[in-house]
Amino acid sequence: MSSVNRAEALIDLGAIERNVAHLISQSGKPALAVVKADAYGHGLVPVAKSALKAGATWLGTALLEEALLLRKSGISAPTLSWLTPIHEDFESALIHDIDIAIPSLDHLAAIMQAASITKKVPRIHLEVDTGMSRGGALSDWKALLHATSDLVKSKKVEVIGIWSHFARADEPGHQFNDQQITNFELRLEEANGFGVTPKIRHLSNSAATLNNPDAHYDLVRLGIAMYGLTPDISQMGSSRDLGLTPAMKIRAQIHLVKDVPAGSQVGYGGTAITTRDTKLAVIAMGYADGIPRNASSETGVLIGNKKAPIIGRVSMDQFVVDLGKDFVTHNGEWAYVISDGYTADSWAKASGTINYEIVTRIGPRVPRIYI
């Protein structure tokens, strides 16, 4: 008898392709597909290939090791990595033609040290802080431009891009978005004054790609939206409102079904007590798989066409749902954790977080099945 996975993530690559094509058509600009964090939990290499098939011309990763894995998988598309501390293996980055974001003079020095060893000309994207106070050069921006200008003149470096990141693009119409665009324009003017002229200017994330044409510039970066999820359901509407199709469904086997009497404590700490005679199902996933421990009864699972809310505290490997006294199901049947029943957004609301975290935290014990 063949075994069945305890739990699995069903990844619809066709949905990702449709989302990417839709977003490109919305912006009319070339697109960089963001595949960081194992493609937001969907699987780095299969998603990267699907995004390129759908028309993306660039790939983006946070970590250098992610970009190197793309190269080892035979993917040669232009790829940018932007979270690369100064002790990273920049020699490998240069050897494998990976673009590197440069947010400081220290990072510029580190990549040039690698260039002196590999005899390769670095392809860099200067990162400027336009108001998020996270990544990018701020007070040292002009110093970075000065140093870069000298390297450009001597043909020791190639400035592919200048870029920044929005803090509040998922709040359409917020004045801070306009301020960041203004800041970006000023920093571009300063770069031009130093003779640093990038081939690509990029600022837009998923939210700005969908709602702010003024920020599209030469390239848009597609993150959460290419996976079919809204950047912010309260500010921008649902996936369906935005013309997107969620690409991930999660399902787990029902480990055990049991009848329990009214007044039964459920789970650690007795945080829930049954108010009536009922039937409970133990779902074979837990916080070790990425299920939020603090998820409330606002979310749960879909079994057949019936929703069953969580009851009690999520455990490491399992959680319990309340079926109601008369619901008929059996050990070994599938319970859909993320689906059209309970979405990533409903799990996020019930856990005090965002849909980004819900999908990216699904762990390696849950195999990805591509459909």
Reply yes or no on whether 29 is catalytic: no
User: Where is 132: in which H helix or E strand?
Assistant: none
Contact status, residue 197 vs residue 159, Cβ threshold 8 Å: yes
Q: Which of 243, 227, 265 is nearest to 56 (CA)?
A: 227
Residue 56, amino acid: A
For residues 170 and 184, what is the distance between their CA atoms, to the nearest angstrom? 18
For residues 2 and 110, what is the distance between their CA atoms, to the nearest angstrom? 52
Residue among 53, 72, 199, 268 flagged as catalytic: 268
**Alpha-carbon distances of 16 from 126, 189, 347, rounded to whole Å:** 29, 36, 21
Q: Which of 49, 52, 5 is nearest to 30 (CA)?
A: 52
Q: Which of 225, 288, 169 is nearest to 25 (CA)?
A: 225
Residue among 36, 49, 279, 349 flagged as catalytic: 36
Contact status, residue 104 vs residue 142, Cβ threshold 8 Å: no
Look up residue 284 and give its DSSP letter: S
**Rounded to 5 degrees, what angle do the CA atoms 145, 147, 150 make?**
105
For residues 39 and 45, what is the distance between their CA atoms, to the nearest angstrom? 8
Contact status, residue 114 vs residue 88, Cβ threshold 8 Å: no
Reply yes or no on whether 199 is catalytic: no
Contact status, residue 318 vs residue 282, Cβ threshold 8 Å: yes
For residues 262 and 276, what is the distance between their CA atoms, to the nearest angstrom? 4
Look up residue 316 and give its DSSP letter: S
Q: Which residues are catalytic?
A: 36, 268
